[in-house]
Amino acid sequence: MAGNDVKRGKLIVFSAPSGTGKSTLAKIVLERCPCIVFSVSATTRKQREGEKEGVNYYFLPVEKFEEKIRTGGFIEHEYFFGNQYGTLLDKTEEIIASGKSILLDLDVKGALNLKKLFGKESLLIFIMPPSMEVLEQRLKGRQSESPEQLELRLERARFELGFADKFDATVVNDNLDQAADAISALIDDFISTT
C-alpha cells in the first residue's frame, strides 16, 4: 500500500422482507457508528415530494439507467414493483476507498451478487420476522397497500426467506433493541477484522 495509508472500508448488506424493521435497524446502526454511511441507490422511479437527489436516491431516466447496465456501472440491479433499482459501482468504490464502510439495503439476489464481487470485504445480514403471521400483521398495520399489493409483498417475503441460509448472519427482529444490539455486535466484529 505504498503511498496510500487509508484502510479500505467494508460493505455491510441488510436484506429482509418488507415489514421486518430493516429501515429502523439501519437508522440505529448508522447513529451508533459514524464510520458507516448509507448507500444511496439509483432508481428509475419518480422522485417523491420531499426526496432529495443523491440523498434518498439517484433518480435516473430509464435510458441512462439502461446505459449504466450495459457499461457495467452497477454492482447489482433489479426490477422491483415496476421500477429499476441499482447500486452504483463508482459511488460504492469511492466510499470504501476513502476508508468508510457502507451499509446497503439490497434484495436477496442483489446481496448475493455483491458477495460474489466483494467476497470477504462484505458482510451479508438477513433480518427475519418472528413469523409470517407477525410480518403480515405489520404490513397490514401500515395501511399503505391494497390487498393485492399486500399479497405480492407476502409472496416476495416467502421467496426471500428461502435465501436466509446463504447469508453470513441471520437476526430475528422480534425485539428492536435486541436485534439492534446483535447487528451492532456483528458489524463491530466484522469491521475490526482485516
- Whether the Cβ atoms of residue 191 and residue 185 lie closer than 8 Å to each other: no
Measured distance CA(40)–CA(90) in Å, rounded: 12
Instruction: Please check whether residue 101 is in contact with residue 164, taking contact to mean a CB–CB distance below 8 angstroms.
Output: no
| pLDDT at residue 141 greater than cutoff 90 | no
Residues 26, 14 contacting (CB under 8 angstroms): yes
DSSP 97-109: HTT-EEEEE--HH
What region, left, alpha or beta, does residue 81 occupy, with left being phi > 0 and alpha being psi -120 to 50 degrees? Answer: left
Domain 11-192 sits in CATH at 3.40.50.300
Rounded to an integer, what distance in angstroms lies between the CA atom of residue 154 and that of residue 160? 10
Query: What is the reported pTM?
Result: 0.85
d(CA 189, CA 194): 10
What length is written for the chain? 194
* pLDDT tens, position by position, 61-99: 999 999 999 999 999 998 877 899 999 999 999 999 999
